[in-house]
Amino acid sequence: MFIVMGGTGHVGSAVAGSLLAAGHEVTIVTRDADRARSRWQGTRARIAQADANDPDSLRTVFRQGRRAFLLNPPADPGTDTDVVERRTVAGILRALEGSGLEKVVAASTGGARPGERIGDLSVLWELEEGLHRQAIPAAINRAGFYMSNWDSQLPAVRESGTLTSLYPADARLPMAAPKDLGAAAARRLLSPLDDVGTQHVEGPERYTAADVAGAFSRALHRPVKVSVVPRDQWRAMFRQLGFSEAAAESYARMTAASLDDLQVPDEATRGSITLDAYVRELVARS
């Protein structure tokens, strides 16, 4: 039995789907059982309700399986996201104690590093460090920029022909489709116990915001331009989107740290889904 956290989101769903397609038993860990049942209706997936803020409930689910995929749930941006997400990291690490799991695979992020007010870069670094200190063999996949981060812009791009980017239009970034990230994690869940340590996962090549605009343009059959938000306006933009002051600061500082010091090695596990293919599917689904 494989235990999968985040099984109603992009990457967790891809992990679970890959395992189910290969004939394995999967339990989806969720805080919202009704949502999970709706998402996985008609499949062999089992649903277990647990919360990383309640380590005992999460440990009970972990004890039902042999291996687990760990994903720190994203906090509501209206909260202090760093504080909330550090709390859930601590809960996940406590839940592993006495769980009996033989291996875990954790989702992290490219450029994870220690620091304050840099969002997932520091929160997921703390998850990595905690996994290194505990006894269960741990494989860590550091993901490139999620292609799905552009999903929410589809309505605006369709209406206005403008794609908003915090990065310069020509900045080349490691991007990956959630399905590729999920497939990579599933492979490590199935691999031998000595397949541990950190791997970086990307798509087949690196892309710029201009490339994203081009992919939308081809999929929508209309011109699409890039509008770059100046750095001194990032925090205000996040606030306008409903972020708390603390979350806006963290996301702005995380973006700046990623842009100024992109810590991604040349060697990476590469997926097969191109940006064009991802955007075409996104537009078709909508």
Distance CA 96, CA 131 (A): 9
- Select from 148, 46, 57, 39 the least CA-distant residue to 94: 57
Instruction: Give the rounded distance of the alpha carbon of 106 from its chain centre.
Output: 10
Residue 50 lies in a domain: yes
Q: What is the pLDDT of residue 192?
A: 97
Residue 238 lies in a domain: no
Residue 101 lies in a domain: yes
| pLDDT per position as a tens digit, 133-162 | 999 999 999 998 999 999 999 999 999 999
- Identify the segments of the chain with pLDDT beneath 50: none
Q: What is the pLDDT of residue 261?
A: 86
Domain around 25: 2-147+175-204+263-271
Residue 86 lies in a domain: yes
Residue 226 lies in a domain: no
Q: What is the pLDDT of residue 243?
A: 98
Residue 17 lies in a domain: yes
Q: What is the pLDDT of residue 277?
A: 98
Distance CA 86, CA 79 (A): 13
Find the Cα–Cα–Cα–Cα dihedral 200, 202, 207, 208, rounded to 10°: -50
Number of domains into which the chain is organized: 1
CATH number at residue 14: 3.40.50.720
Place of tokens 């090695």: 265
Q: What is the pLDDT of residue 112?
A: 95
Q: What is the pLDDT of residue 144?
A: 83
| pLDDT per position as a tens digit, 158-187 | 999 999 999 999 999 999 999 999 999 999
Residue 245 lies in a domain: no
Residue 216 lies in a domain: no
Do the Cβ atoms of 79 and 247 come closer than 8 Å? yes
Q: What is the pLDDT of residue 265?
A: 75
Q: What is the pLDDT of residue 267?
A: 84
Distance CA 205, CA 3 (A): 31
